[in-house]
């Protein structure tokens, strides 16, 4: 029953003062039966009042305004979470009954968006792969394990091989990438099989297995298992999401889960974005992180998921009203 301490820092620096910054954050960890949030604190520069609401995906969303002129926006989230192992599906219901249950969900408004897939260069090949497997002769749970393993075994984990502009077609052609790339491909495969699936953003914490992406922002999927519910699958590590996965948000795609969105008024030339995440199993008293004044070089350890995160956040933050 591990306990983790997570610190997530974000800072936007602007070349010129900006005003009327309206921001939206999804930095609130999801409290579940297996993930108990012991404490959570969010600190924002200029100390604005943060209002919260629950979105359609049951994520907690914070909103705040910074109306006065400011040269930077700093957001710090500190989480203390206690996790336990999840309960796996029994998978003892008849195969045909499980697939019929999923078929009935196609007209259920709650699952329609989780069944829509994007057509891309790999669609035909995926369809042939599913047909060759005669996938409905196995339970959805077993199929999900197979599809997760397919991504893990057929796609190489390579940082830098994809970039912020990479599309599904690029990832499929390269058969390489990082967590966001693998999650996006697996989402399409699962939905094509008629199983609801959704995007998950969060963190994977350090563990003895040395999981890829640990100690940073991470992405994986959740699929709907008949007579069980939503279950996470991490194709980057070929594992079921477990006590080392901490969820921040779920949605149809990354756009529904973006940690920070915002707009402001002003001309922000030479602006910069700094993002840092630290996960530890030991709480360090009086530990502080110092934001650099200017970011002039991208961290060489950044993978495409983090770069994409930064680009999207930066583009959203730079939209002028």
- Domain segments of the chain as ranges: 3-83+258-318, 95-255
What value does the mean pLDDT take over residues 150-160?
Answer: 92
Pairing of strands 3-25, 60-66: antiparallel
| pTM for this predicted structure | 0.85
Do the beta carbons of residue 315 and residue 273 sit within 8 Å? no
| Residue that wins the pLDDT comparison between 4 and 317 | 4
Query: Mean pLDDT, to the nearest integer, of 31-49?
Result: 94
Higher per-residue pLDDT: 2 or 304: 2
Domain covering 3-83+258-318: architecture: Sandwich (2.60)
Given this model, what pLDDT does residue 135 score? Answer: 92
pLDDT band for position 318 (cuts 50, 70, 90): very low
Please report the pLDDT score of residue 223 as a whole number.
98
Tell me whether the CATH fold assigned to 3-83+258-318 matches the one assigned to 95-255. no
**Of residues 255, 159, 275, the one with CA closest to residue 199:** 255
Reference 45, options 82, 78, 70; nearest CA is 70
Task: With cut-offs at 50, 70 and 90, classify the pLDDT of residue 306.
Answer: very low
| Confidence at 216, pLDDT banded by 50, 70, 90 | low
- Would you put residue 91 in left (φ > 0), alpha (ψ -120 to 50) or beta? left
* Per-residue pLDDT at 214: 64
For 267-280, what is the mean pLDDT? Answer: 83
When pLDDT is averaged across residues 173-195 and rounded to a whole number, the result is 95
pLDDT of amino acid 296 = 38
* pLDDT score for 320: 39
Q: SS3 letters for the chain?
A: CCEEEEEEEEEEEEEEEEEEEEEEECCCCCCCCCEEEEEEEEEECCCCCCEEEECCCCCEEEEEEECCCEEEEEEEEEEEEEECCCCCCCCCCCHHHHHHHHHHHHHCHHHHHHHCCCCCCCHHHHHHHHHHHCHHHCCHHHHHHHHHHHHHHHCEECCCCCCCCCCHHHHHHHCEECHHHHHHHHHHHHHHCCCCEEEEEEEECCCCCCCCCCCEEEEEEEEEECCCEEEEEECCCCEECCCCEEEEEEECCHHHCCCEEEEEECCCCCCEEEEEEEEECCCCCCCCCCCCCCCCCCCCCCCHHHHHHHHHHHHHHHCEC
Query: From residue 228, how far is each of 36, 90, 221 by CA, in Å?
Result: 20, 8, 16
CATH class of the region 95-255: alpha beta
**Average pLDDT of every residue of the chain:** 87
């Amino acid at each position: 029953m591990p306990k983790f301490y997570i610190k997530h820092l974000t800072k936007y620096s602007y070349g010129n003062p900006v005003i009327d910054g309206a921001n939206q954050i999804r930095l609130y960890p999801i409290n579940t039966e297996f993930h108990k949030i012991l404490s959570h604190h969010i600190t924002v520069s200029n100390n604005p009042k943060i209002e919260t609401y629950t979105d359609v995906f049951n994520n907690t969303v914070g909103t705040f305004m910074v109306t006065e002129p400011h040269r930077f926006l700093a957001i710090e989230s500190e989480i203390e979470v206690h996790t336990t192992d999840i309960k796996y599906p029994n998978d003892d219901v008849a195969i045909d009954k499980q697939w019929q249950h999923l078929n009935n969900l196609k007209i259920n408004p709650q699952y329609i968006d989780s069944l829509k897939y994007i057509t891309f260069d790999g669609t035909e090949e995926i369809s042939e792969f599913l047909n060759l497997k005669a996938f409905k002769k196995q339970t959805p749970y077993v199929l999900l394990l197979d599809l997760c393993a397919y991504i893990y075994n057929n796609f190489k984990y390579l940082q830098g091989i994809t970039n912020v502009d990479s599309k599904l077609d690029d990832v499929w052609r390269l058969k390489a990438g990082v967590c966001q790339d693998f999650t996006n491909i697996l989402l399409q495969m699962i939905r094509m099989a008629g199983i609801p699936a959704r995007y998950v953003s969060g963190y994977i914490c350090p563990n003895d297995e040395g999981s890829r992406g640990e100690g940073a922002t991470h992405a994986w999927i959740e699929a709907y298992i008949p007579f069980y519910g939503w279950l996470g699958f991490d194709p980057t590590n070929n594992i079921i999401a477990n006590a080392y996965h901490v969820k921040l948000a779920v949605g149809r795609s990354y756009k529904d889960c973006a940690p920070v969105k915002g707009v402001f008024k002003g001309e922000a030339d030479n602006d910069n974005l700094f993002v840092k995440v630290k996960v530890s199993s030991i709480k360090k008293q009086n530990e502080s992180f110092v934001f650099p004044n200017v970011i002039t070089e991208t961290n060489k350890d950044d993978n495409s998921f983090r770069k994409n995160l930064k680009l999207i956040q930066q583009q959203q933050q730079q939209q002028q009203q």
